[in-house]
Structure 1
Amino acid sequence: MIPLLSTLLLLVATAQHALAASDIALKPCTVISPTSERFFDLNPMRRLPPSESDSKKKKEGEEGSWHAKGYDYNANFTINFCGPVVEELDEVQELDEKLWRNVSAFYERGSKQWAIGLENSEPIFRGRKLILNYTGGSLCPSSSSKSKRALDTREIIEGDDDDDDADKPSKEKPSSERRKSTVISLLCDSDPLAKTSISFVAAVDDCAYFFEGRSPFACGGVHQETQALGPGGVFGVMVMIAVLVYFVGGCVYQRTVMHQRGWRQLPNYAMWAGIWRFFSDMFIILTSSCARFMPSRRGYSRVSLGQDGGRRGRRNEDEDRLIDNLDEEWDD
């Protein structure tokens, strides 16, 4: 019986592990490491607008997006994790105005702003490195200069009647455009008092920007949603398995070894029969005691006597009369 119980418990543990390792739908801004299978949730790192952030963060001064000093780049950066920046943008250069609300990283010089990446809520792993990548920002300087040259060339050859040659610049323009992008490498900071921080690393030809972020949320943990049962549920499953093994193993033993049949195949049949009789007697006692509180008719009621009853009554009168006569004779 004990080996069977151990086997069932091992199957339950194996099923839970298989569920944890299987592909499941993840929430935005979460990822599972393919090497360590640790779960990473970056949602707490995201800054929300003042209308959506709670009062605790407002008291701690965590309003607005994250900021990184550019040092020798001559510009400071504003970044948010897995969401657009909290600040309202009004002068984003070389980017469609409809996309301004989706900018997740930008820098500004004077009154002008340059987007260096649009919103992305899907972190990825490159080996053991946790990466968050933003793309689709403002045009890179090389692309903007090329597009200007293409426009200038188009103005010069505007008098050309060849429609096919006139269409070539418009077809080649999207392939020559490069837009600013951002790569954020997230590192684990296991210090209990540590807070999330981000720092600027480098910029390649004013088109690709690299940042390094440190946060306790980048350390990973156990995916809570993969646990189908909590501690209480796991204990309940273990109890159910133990009861099942007890009854099945006991029935097999009573039938094959003790050669019992019917209800006597149950393990400890005498004990269970005694418990059943106890509850049956208690039920009878309770129902009989409750029956006394049932409403009933009060007072006397005349019992009608039939023919036999009348004869019995006359016979009693004759006996009384005979006794009275004998008493009188005895007195005389």
Structure 2
Amino acid sequence: MNRRSKESDSKLLLGVLTGSPLNNGKSEEQQEKNLTPKYDSKESNESNSNSNFLLADSDVIPPIKSPNLDPCTAINPLTNGFFDLRSLSSMNLNDGSVSAWNARGYDYNMNFTLGMCSSPLKKQNIQPGDFDQVTNTSLIGGFYTDQEGVKYSIGEYSTAPVFRGRKLTLTYTNGSFCEKTSTGEAWRKSTILSFTCDRELMAKAQISFVGVLHDCDYFFEVRTVHACPTAAKSDNLALVWIFLIIFLAALMVYCGAGTLYKKAILGRRGWRQLPSYSIVRNFKAAFGSNGSVSK
């Protein structure tokens, strides 16, 4: 028996003992190539592209259900902070006055008048020829006056502030008509107010004109302390009730434990077994029956 036959017999015996497949006269590289699974390149690319868009159940963010809120208030869905802008509006003014805020346009050569969740206009101040393109002037949330003295609306006010990420915004739409586009479409002016929390501002609010796009969309920044998170009124009332319940529970524990201690350990009877009886006795001894201080 030659050397090659011995090597083949030893490999055959090793394959039987280990359960590995035989080479069948093929080289190791050819065998590994045959054992490597084959995939269709088109199917693999499609599976890889589809796997990039698959999300686990834990990664899917459920839709946030906004609770029933009062007008001009909002809750940050990221921090659950409560925001109340009603102090900047004329919603709670019952004397017929309005809350109007002015912003300089600087290089735009126009000055703006804005209302927060309300209209900055009084009906008696509207002159003939103003806001010809607006059907309901009582809904105007902001306007400007051009060089000829004609007033234009930059949107109807809204009472629903919305969070865009971490920014509190208020959007006014359906203002006066903008200039017609190349396609002949007639768009209406709109406004976006972006609120920023500023606790160091001495004034109630400060409005800055940021910019305008195509003489149609206007952007403003409002810095105010009212854009800072606060507690809702219902939450304040709940905190008061919680404090009262804790105080009453502590008072009951103090009276019960003190009475039990004086009765069981000190052997006191009657009013003497009440806690702080000595304080009441000294107070009664200090003042007479007619309320005068005894010497």
TM (norm. structure 2) is 0.57
Counterpart residue identity of residue 85, structure 1 = P
CA distance in 1, matches of 2:208, 2:108: 13
Matches within 5 A, 1:105-254: 105-109=142-146, 110-142=148-180, 146=184, 176-191=185-200, 193-231=202-240, 233-239=241-247
In structure 2, runs of 5+ residues without a counterpart are 1-64, 274-295
Shift of 1:29: 0.4
**1:277-299 CA deviation, whole Å, 9 max, x = no partner?**
x9xxxxxxxxxxxxxxxxxxxxx
How many angstroms does 1:177 deviate by? 3.7
Name the structure 1 match of 2:78: 35
| Corresponding position of 1:319 | none
Unaligned stretches of 5+ residues in structure 1: 1-21, 54-62, 147-175, 251-266, 279-332
**Structure 2 CA distance for partners of 1:101 and 1:183, relative to 1, 3 Å:** same
1:250-282 Cα shifts (integer Å, max 9, x gaps): 9xxxxxxxxxxxxxxxx88x78xx769x9xxxx
Amino acid in structure 2 at the alignment position of 1:36:
T
Q: Aligned with 2:142: secondary structure? A: strand
Using the aligned pairs only, state the percent identity: 35
Determine the C-alpha separation between the residues in 2 that align with 1:182 and 1:23. 23
CA distance in 2, matches of 1:244, 1:23: 41
1:44 — aligned with what? 87
Alignment length, in residue pairs?
200
In the alignment, the residues of structure 2 paired with residue 92 and residue 77 of structure 1 have an alpha-carbon distance, to the nearest angstrom, of 14
Determine the C-alpha separation between the residues in 1 that align with 2:79 and 2:223.
Answer: 19
Q: Which amino acid aligns with 2:158?
A: N
Counterpart residue identity of residue 95, structure 2:
S
Q: Of residues 131, 134, 140 in structure 2, which corresponds to 1:95?
A: 134
Task: Check whether the contact 2:121–2:138 (CA below 8 A) recurs between aligned residues.
Answer: no
Question: Residues of 1 paired with 2:181 and 2:95: CA distance?
Answer: 38
Displacement, 1:130? 0.8
Name the CA shift for 1:133/1:236 in 2 (closer, same or farther; >3 Å): same
Q: 1:116 touches 1:135 (CA, 8 Å); kept in 2? A: yes
Which string of whole-angstrom CA distances, capped at 9 and with x for unpartnered residues, describes residues 5-31 of structure 1? xxxxxxxxxxxxxxxxx9643211011
- Structure number having the greater helix percentage: 1
Deviation at 1:216, TM superposition (A): 1.1
Q: CA deviation at 1:78?
A: 0.9
Match of 2:118 among 83, 89, 105: 83
Inter-partner Cα distance in structure 2 for 1:242 and 1:124: 43
1:141 is paired with a residue whose SS is coil
- Give distance in 1, aligned partners of 2:137 and 2:86: 21
Across the aligned residues of Structure 1 and Structure 2, the Cα RMSD in angstroms comes to: 3.7
Q: 1:84 to 1:177 in 2, by over 3 A?
A: same
Distance (whole Å) between structure 2 residues aligned to residue 50 and residue 112 of structure 1: 30
Relative contact order, CA 8 A, sep 6+: which one is greater? 1
Give the 3 Å change call, closer, same or farther, for CA 197–242 of structure 1 in structure 2.
closer
Question: Are the equivalent residues in 2 in contact too, given 1:47–1:86 (CA < 8 A)?
Answer: no
Q: Determine if contact 1:46/1:83 at 8 Å carries over to the other structure.
A: yes
Partner of 2:180, secondary structure, is helix
SS in 2 for 1:131: strand
SS at match of 2:155: strand
Contact 2:170 2:193 in 1 (8 A): yes
